[in-house]
């Protein structure tokens, strides 16, 4: 703990370690009311020197750092400076990763989708100075601002998904189509050799399988069917694909939905359904899932339930597990809300309410 010349405890000195400049800048601006951000680091190899040079009390550390990955950096920090608090702040929503980070010496693990609540709480918990405004207004402003960072992070993630999908489709996809055409043309050249011809046919099937997998990845990154066919058709396609891939029955009901919905709302509803169903196939061991999307007043209401093993919501929230954080943050960013009802052995029910913001026809 540091002190000023009057003997009073000074704000904690924080170093931000993240290779994404936008995240560092935003968090620095938002943490200013409650602590002293003394440095930014974009490379893990520079981190230990910066901590010593800047006399840091707290490090907010991203796990995916060039030069030195976050877990190794955390271990080295705790060995060299045991009194420095390390708060791991990452986009990953993974309970196993959280456990490994805490075992490495981190004092807290924060998913970037929950910056608004968890990072503030972690900073306050590590703050032994007690230097906060008497009415808590600085903290309230920080919470609101960090919530805005969470929303901007979702927007940035969607833009990056869009870019990757386009690059895969226009780059790798086109090259793969050319390769498939060239392999197909070999069939005429080897027609006289049955064994070679069969090998060429196998290569062509393999190439086509890669193309199908590439298309699936692009669809997950950027559901183009939303723009082409609308929300109901896109969710129906998602349900069919997951049902066939994972041998699970998925019952879908879509009520009357507005014909014109803001693109951000379309994407929010689709991503929540997608994340909820992915949780079902990954974790629930369910035989049946049910999806219902309907309009209720000025809201789009989403229900996703299953007959699987369920879970204890308190434990899931503590471990940032099952993708619940990202779904909740998406709903909040769109001006809505999300609730989860679950019990061990009795399945799970996710319900989201998203304002529809119906666009008026011109």
Alpha carbons 298 and 303: distance in angstroms, whole number: 16
Give the SS3 label for residue 251. strand
Alpha carbons 147 and 164: distance in angstroms, whole number: 26
- Residue 288: is it exposed, middle or buried by C-beta count within 10 angstroms (0-12/13-18/19+)? middle
- Tens-binned pLDDT, residue by residue, of the chain (362 aa): 444 444 445 788 899 988 877 778 777 877 777 788 898 888 777 888 888 888 888 999 888 777 777 788 888 888 888 889 999 887 766 667 788 888 888 888 887 766 666 776 777 776 544 444 444 454 455 445 555 555 666 666 677 777 777 777 777 878 888 888 888 888 888 888 888 989 988 988 888 888 888 877 777 777 767 777 888 988 998 999 899 988 999 999 998 887 777 788 888 999 999 999 988 998 889 999 999 999 998 899 999 999 999 887 655 544 434 467 778 878 888 888 899 898 888 999 999 999 986 433 33
Q: Among 333, 316, 335, 334, which residue's Cα sits nearest to residue 324?
A: 316
Alpha carbons 340 and 294: distance in angstroms, whole number: 18
Give helix then strand counts, H and E, for the chain.
13, 10
Radius of gyration of the chain from Cα atoms?
25
Place of tokens 């669809």: 219
The pLDDT of residue 213: 81
Cα maximum dimension of the chain: 93
Alpha carbons 220 and 150: distance in angstroms, whole number: 21
Write phi, then psi, for 57 (nearest 5 degrees): -100, -30
The pLDDT of residue 25: 79
Q: Among 224, 282, 288, which residue's Cα sits nearest to residue 252?
A: 288
Q: How far is CA 267 from the centre of its chain?
A: 14
The DSSP 8-state label assigned to residue 284 in this structure reads I
Q: Interior CA angle at 51 toward 45 and 52, to 5°?
A: 110
Beta strand 299-306 with 288-296 is: antiparallel
Sheet holding 337-342, edge to edge: 249-254, 288-296, 299-306, 348-355, 337-342
The pLDDT of residue 184: 85
The pLDDT of residue 235: 93
Alpha carbons 231 and 21: distance in angstroms, whole number: 34
297's CB contacts (< 8 A; 6+ apart) are: none
* Exposure string for 325-334, b = 16+ CB within 10 A, e = fewer: bbbbbbbbbb
User: Each residue of 197-228: pLDDT tens digit?
Assistant: 899 889 888 888 888 888 777 777 777 677 77
Residue 46 · residue 38 · CB < 8 Å: no
């Amino acid at each position: 703990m540091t002190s000023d010349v009057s003997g009073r405890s000074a704000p904690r000195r924080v170093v931000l370690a993240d290779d994404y400049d936008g995240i560092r800048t935003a968090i620095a601006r938002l943490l200013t009311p409650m602590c002293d951000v003394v440095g930014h680091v974009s490379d893990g190899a520079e981190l230990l020197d910066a901590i010593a040079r800047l006399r840091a009390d707290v490090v907010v550390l991203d796990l995916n750092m060039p030069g030195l990955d976050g877990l190794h950096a955390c271990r080295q920090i705790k060995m060299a400076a045991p009194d420095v608090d390390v708060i791991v702040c990452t986009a990953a929503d993974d309970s196993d990763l959280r456990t490994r980070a805490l075992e490495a010496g981190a004092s807290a693990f924060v998913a970037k989708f929950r910056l608004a609540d968890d990072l503030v709480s972690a900073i306050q918990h590590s703050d032994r100075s007690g230097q906060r405004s008497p009415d808590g207004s600085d903290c309230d402003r920080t919470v609101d601002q960090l919530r805005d960072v969470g929303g901007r992070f979702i927007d940035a993630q969607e833009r990056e998904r869009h870019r990757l999908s386009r690059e895969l489709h226009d780059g790798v996809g086109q090259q793969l189509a050319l390769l498939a055409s060239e392999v197909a043309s070999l069939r005429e050249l080897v027609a006289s050799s049955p064994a070679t011809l069969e090998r060429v046919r196998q290569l062509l099937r393999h190439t086509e399988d890669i193309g199908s997998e590439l298309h699936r990845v692009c669809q997950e990154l950027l559901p183009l069917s939303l723009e082409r066919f609308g929300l109901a058709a896109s969710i129906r396609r998602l349900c069919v694909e997951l049902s066939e891939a994972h041998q699970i029955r998925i019952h879908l009901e879509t009520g009357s939905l507005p014909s014109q919905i803001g693109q951000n709302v379309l994407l929010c509803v689709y991503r929540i359904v997608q994340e909820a169903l992915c949780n079902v196939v990954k974790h629930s061991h369910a035989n049946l899932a049910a999806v219902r999307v309907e309009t209720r007043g000025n809201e789009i209401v989403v229900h996703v339930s299953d007959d699987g093993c369920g879970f204890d919501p308190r434990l899931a929230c503590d471990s940032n597990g099952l993708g619940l954080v990202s779904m909740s943050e998406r709903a909040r960013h769109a001006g809505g809300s999300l609730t989860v009802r679950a019990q061990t052995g009795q399945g799970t029910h996710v319900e989201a309410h998203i304002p529809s913001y119906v666009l008026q026809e011109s």
